[in-house]
């Protein structure tokens, strides 16, 4: 049974509701403001349950939320050079909100993007699913088309009996447009309030990553991970190489880069992308995606006081893994591009599988 609890009032005056999904020993809390993941509670190897997602106890924490905790990001995730998207012969302008001179764009609009909108909710008890929808008018947030966005969260038992949270993001439009959505949850498998994630072990299915310019926009190079700190093909702790003498790590204060995930094919089923393990608790997270890339961000700029459970978050206290088409792909003709037309809606699926190891 999916239960609901009130969570305050949005700036628009609309009441905000939390939806509680329970299955296979896990509990997931999502809300209709920003189609946001508020919490994921899962047991460790000894059965002790902890919330492994960073966030806030109070709704007003999400009104500012520069870290975008748990939010649905779009229509355009990550950084876009000059905030410009070209579709056909027309160049569209998003707000300038990122970079040293605020000349670029980050996450479409940090004040009015999808993570700051009220979404309509629909519950399906049979599939243990909550679906959220949000509409944007033609030209709204700088991009064309009357668009309907949908985010569906389904909590079910996977093939091994472990809990799986499936997040499906989609967009239907009446005109060709640009969509590159993601989810911006931060994980700490020891518990959201357990401090640094640098001792947690990650493996990423990627032979290459995207270097950045000084302003954090993709440089256009696709660089092999071999012989770099970005080589996560074999498991290693997030902290092992994070402070290495590497120009890319210095630009971002750590990992804040898109990984070019192996075996991408358009419209394919989700494939494995990441395994994250906490050696102390035994909690394990496997992420499966349909997107060609995913952005690994080790929370290098986090700084929130009085967050969830009264704790404070500092740099590297959480790690985000954001599936996406490669950032700034609109300016690189040779890269894969998302498709969103009246005949071909955009769709992206993320599967979070939770388990334990002894």
> Which residues participate in catalysis according to the annotation?
184, 322
Cα dihedral sign, 229-248-54-350:
negative
| Integer Cα distance of 184 and 78 in angstroms | 10
Q: Are strands 319-324 and 293-297 parallel, antiparallel or unpaired?
A: antiparallel
Q: Does residue 265 contact residue 283 with C-beta atoms inside 8 Å?
A: no
Report residue 277 as tokens. 């393990």
Q: Does residue 183 contact residue 350 with C-beta atoms inside 8 Å?
A: yes
Query: Among all chains, which residue has been given the structure tokens 């899962």?
Result: 42
Q: Does residue 258 contact residue 293 with C-beta atoms inside 8 Å?
A: yes
User: Residue 136: what are its φ and ψ, rounded to 5°?
Assistant: -125, 140
User: Residue 140: what are its φ and ψ, rounded to 5°?
Assistant: -65, 140
User: Residue 63: what are its φ and ψ, rounded to 5°?
Assistant: -70, -35
């Amino acid at each position: 049974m999916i239960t609901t609890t009130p969570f305050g009032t949005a700036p628009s005056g609309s009441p905000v509701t939390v939806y509680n999904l329970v299955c296979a020993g896990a509990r997931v809390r999502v809300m209709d403001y920003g189609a946001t993941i508020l919490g994921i509670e899962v047991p460790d190897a000894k059965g002790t349950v902890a919330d492994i997602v960073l966030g806030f106890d109070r709704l007003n924490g999400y009104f500012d939320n520069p870290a975008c905790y748990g939010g649905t990001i779009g229509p355009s995730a990550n950084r876009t050079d000059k905030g410009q998207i070209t579709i056909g012969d027309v160049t569209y302008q998003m707000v300038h909100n990122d970079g040293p001179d605020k000349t670029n764009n980050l996450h479409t609009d940090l004040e009015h993007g999808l993570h700051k909108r009220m979404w309509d909710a629909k519950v399906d008890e049979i599939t243990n699913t909550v679906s959220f929808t949000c509409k944007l008018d033609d030209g709204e947030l700088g991009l064309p088309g009357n668009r309907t966005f949908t985010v569906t969260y389904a909590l079910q038992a996977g093939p091994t009996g472990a809990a799986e949270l499936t997040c499906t993001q989609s967009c239907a439009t009446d005109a060709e447009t640009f969509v590159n959505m993601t989810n911006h949850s931060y994980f700490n498998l020891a518990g959201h309030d357990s401090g640094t994630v640098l001792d947690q072990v990650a493996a990423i299915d990627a032979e290459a990553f995207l270097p950045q310019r000084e302003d954090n926009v993709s440089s256009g190079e696709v660089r092999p991970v071999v012989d770099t700190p970005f080589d996560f093909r074999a498991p290693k702790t997030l902290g092992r190489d994070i402070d290495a003498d590497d120009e890319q790590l210095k630009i971002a204060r750590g990992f804040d880069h898109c990984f070019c995930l192996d075996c991408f094919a358009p419209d394919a089923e989700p494939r494995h992308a990441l395994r994250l393990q906490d050696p102390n608790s035994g909690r394990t997270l496997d992420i499966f995606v349909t997107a060609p890339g995913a952005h690994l961000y080790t929370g290098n700029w986090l700084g929130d006081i009085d967050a969830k459970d009264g704790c404070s978050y500092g740099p590297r206290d959480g790690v985000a893994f954001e599936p996406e088409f490669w950032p700034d792909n609109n300016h690189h003709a040779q890269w894969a591009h998302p498709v969103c037309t009246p005949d071909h809606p955009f769709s992206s699926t993320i599967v979070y599988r939770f388990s334990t190891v002894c």
